[in-house]
Structure 1
Amino acid sequence: MNAPLRLFAKASFKTSTRGLMLCACAGLLLTGCANYNPLATAPIDPTSPVADEVARLGRADAPFPTFADIPPKPTDQRPIAQWGKEARQLETAAAALERQTAPNTWTLNGTERFQARALAEAGPAESAASSTAATEAFARQLRERATPPPSPR
């Protein structure tokens, strides 16, 4: 006998069981989809404020729109190529701004004029030298307030 042995080989129990389970699962999944119809009409809630209009617009004898109902292309808009040119200009301006404001690309110059203007707006400074007597009186007052209260005994 010269027949190949694969013709007489028996399939293992694991392989046939796995295939059978796979077919059963696929059948169950498809059975769940068989009853679902997304195009079926759903009941309209009569308490809805738009129930009358939904029923009127959902009639079966209503005319369907045709391709002639599509409005013409607007003429007051810029062409597609112009959008690309302006987007490219915007990207170029953004890149230039990033180059100009990158770290270590700018310095503060002319701050003396700003400082002089701020000092002039602030007005004259009061005398920084205070009298020693006033300072000592203030310090004595703070020490008196800082002493702990007497013990309750």
Structure 2
Amino acid sequence: MTPLARLFVNARQGSAAARLLAAAGASALLAGCVGNPFDTAKVDPTSPVAAEVSRLTREARAYPTFAGIPKKPTDVRPLRQFGRAADEVTAAGAALEQATAPSTWTLGDTDSFAARARSAAGPEAAPADPRSTEAFAEDLRRRATPPPPPKR
């Protein structure tokens, strides 16, 4: 089925309007770049930097040129070597991920590891005497005061 061209006439007008609007916006943006706002700018004479500003604006200075750009250094490795080094880092990362992936390692000899950890930690502390704990709790219960009754 071939649709009639007259059904899509408005679509063409919209794109022309969008192009016109874009051109007008670009022209308005570029119009702000026509003048130099610093040419006519006045410096407040009471400002603490007024003397320095006027001295710097009157001073003739040499502008940088393209001849001032330094030559390409010779002690830098070629671009291909940067790519090879990046490939090596990527390969090392992939190998590390593969070596540490889930289900690729298991724990073994955990009893000897635990024994070494216990000996490094020193002697075990004696458990607390249950009678002293109960006496402490009883003392706290005896000293506790109930909250005041609610005001009615």
Give the TM-score normalised by structure 1. 0.55
Residue 6 of structure 1 corresponds to none
For residues 38 and 105 of structure 1, do their structure 2 counterparts lie closer, same or farther at Cα, with a shift above 3 Å needed? farther
Shift of 1:75: 0.4
Question: Hey, what's the Cα distance between the residues in 1 that align with 2:102 and 2:51?
Answer: 60
Superposed CA RMSD in Å reads: 4.3
Which residue number in structure 1 is paired with residue 32 of structure 2?
A: 36
- Local SS of the residue matching 1:96: helix
Cα separation, partners in 2 of 1:117 and 1:42, compared to 1, 3 Å: same
Q: Which residue of 2 aligns with 1:76?
A: 75
The 5 Å alignment of 1:48-63 reads 51=53, 52-53=55-56, 56=59
- Post-superposition shift, 1:64? 6.7
Alignment match, 2:65: 65
Distance 2:23 2:81 in 1: 55
Equivalent pairs, count:
128
CA distance in 2, matches of 1:145, 1:116: 44
User: Which blocks of at least 5 consecutive residues in structure 1 are unaligned?
Assistant: 1-14
Give the greater-gyration-radius structure (CA).
Answer: 1
Amino acid of the residue matched to residue 112 of structure 1? Answer: D
* Seq. identity, %: 39
